[in-house]
């Protein structure tokens, strides 16, 4: 899951990015409106944390421009402006949630989780696929009742695939959603991660769809043993 944080206060920006990365997301950040708008308009983010009072381009303008361009990722507005008239303006511009400063980081994380879940059509924090259970709140992965340890990249890969379980996810899409923009992208690393993940999970969860990508799906039990 790759997120974008647009916030002009350096301290808050740093804190949010650290907290989100700690929670297992790939995070890009921008300190002004123009850069933020450009990133959000060109990179495929799964969710955006957006301040309203930004230098160069304000949050509402950015959001409206994205929506006009068909960028439909969930956006959480984070601002000190907490009047209802300002909130309504934010929602009408296309925001999916609104959090007023000062905020508790836990609340921000919970709202982000909820946004990601809603965007992929899940009802709870817990993603289940076959015998694999992934709790997006605690970041724990349980296979057949036993917890397993994953690196942050492995966790991100699994979480992304499980958020979109039953759908083929291309390698490019995985790269775009797993790494922040500063990461040295190399599609071979994906294969390496998939291999390691399969080994750690021990169950047949991640299918390779030749020429297209990967798909998380529970193993299909068939009488003749074929898939």
Partner 1 sequence: MRLPRLPENSIATRLFLTAAASSFIVLLIASLFFTAYYRRETEVVFERRLEVYLRALVADVAQSGEEGHTDPGQLGDPQFELPGSGWYWQITRMDGATQDIKASRSLFANRLPKLADRGVAAELGGFRRGFVEGPDGRRLRIVERVIDVGDMGVYLVQVAASDEEMEEQIERFHFALMVAFTMLAIALAIVAAFQVRFGLRPLRRLQQELSAIRRGEDERISGAYPSEIAPLANELNLLIGANRDILERARTQVGNLAHALKTPLSVIVNEAYSTPSPLADKVSEQATIMREQIGFYLDRARAAARGGAIGASTQVAPCLDGLLRAFRKIYAERNIAFIGEASADMRFLGERQDFEEMIGNLLDNAGKWATREVVITIVAETPPTPDARSFLCITIDDDGPGLTPDQIREATQRGRRLDETKPGSGLGLSIVADLAVAYGGALELEKNAAGGLRARLRAPGF
Contacts to partner 1 by CB under 8 A: 9, 11-12, 15-16, 18-19, 53, 80-85, 87-88, 90-92, 95-98, 100-107, 114, 118
For the chain, give the number of residues.
227
Beta carbon nearer to partner 1, 48 or 114: 114
Tell the smallest beta-carbon distance from residue 56 to partner 1 (Å): 17
Least spacing, CB of residue 11 vs partner 1, in Å: 4
* Alpha-carbon gap, residue 23 to 183, rounded angstroms: 18
| Separation CA 174–CA 213 (nearest Å) | 9
Closest distance between partner 1 and the C-beta of residue 102, in Å? Answer: 4
User: Residue 183 CB, nearest distance to partner 1 (Å)?
Assistant: 23
Nearer of residues 57 and 81 to partner 1, judged by Cβ = 81
Q: Which is nearer to partner 1, 95 or 127 (by Cβ)? A: 95
Taking only Cα atoms into account, the Rg of the chain, rounded to an integer number of angstroms, comes to 18
Cα-based torsion angle of the residue sequence 129, 133, 135, 140 in order, rounded to the nearest 10 degrees = -140
Which CB sits closer to partner 1, 90 or 213? 90
- Angle at the Cα of 189 (from 126 to 191), degrees rounded to 5? 70
Which runs of E-coded beta strand occur in 67-212?
75-79, 97-100, 126-129, 132-135, 140-143, 146-148, 206-209
């Amino acid at each position: 899951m790759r997120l974008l944080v647009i916030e002009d206060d350096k301290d808050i920006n740093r804190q949010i990015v650290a907290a989100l990365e700690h929670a297992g997301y790939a995070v890009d950040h921008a300190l002004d409106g123009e850069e933020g708008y450009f990133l959000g308009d060109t990179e495929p983010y799964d969710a955006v944390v957006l301040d309203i009072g930004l230098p160069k381009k304000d949050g509402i303008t950015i959001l409206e421009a994205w929506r006009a361009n068909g960028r439909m990722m969930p956006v959480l507005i984070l601002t000190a402006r907490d009047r209802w008239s300002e909130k309504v303006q934010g929602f009408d511009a296309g925001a999916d949630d609104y959090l007023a400063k000062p905020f508790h980081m836990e609340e921000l994380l919970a709202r982000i989780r909820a946004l990601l879940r809603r965007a992929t059509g899940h009802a709870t924090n817990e993603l289940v696929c076959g015998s694999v259970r992934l709790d997006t709140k605690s970041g724990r992965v349980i296979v057949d009742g036993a917890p397993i340890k994953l690196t942050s990249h492995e966790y991100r890969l699994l979480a992304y695939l499980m958020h979109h379980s039953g759908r083929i996810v291309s390698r490019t899409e995985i790269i775009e959603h797993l790494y922040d923009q500063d990461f040295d992208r190399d599609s071979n690393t994906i294969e390496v991660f998939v291999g390691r993940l399969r080994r750690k999970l021990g169950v047949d969860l991640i299918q390779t769809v030749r020429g297209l990508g990967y798909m998380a799906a529970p193993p299909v039990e068939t009488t003749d043993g074929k898939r």
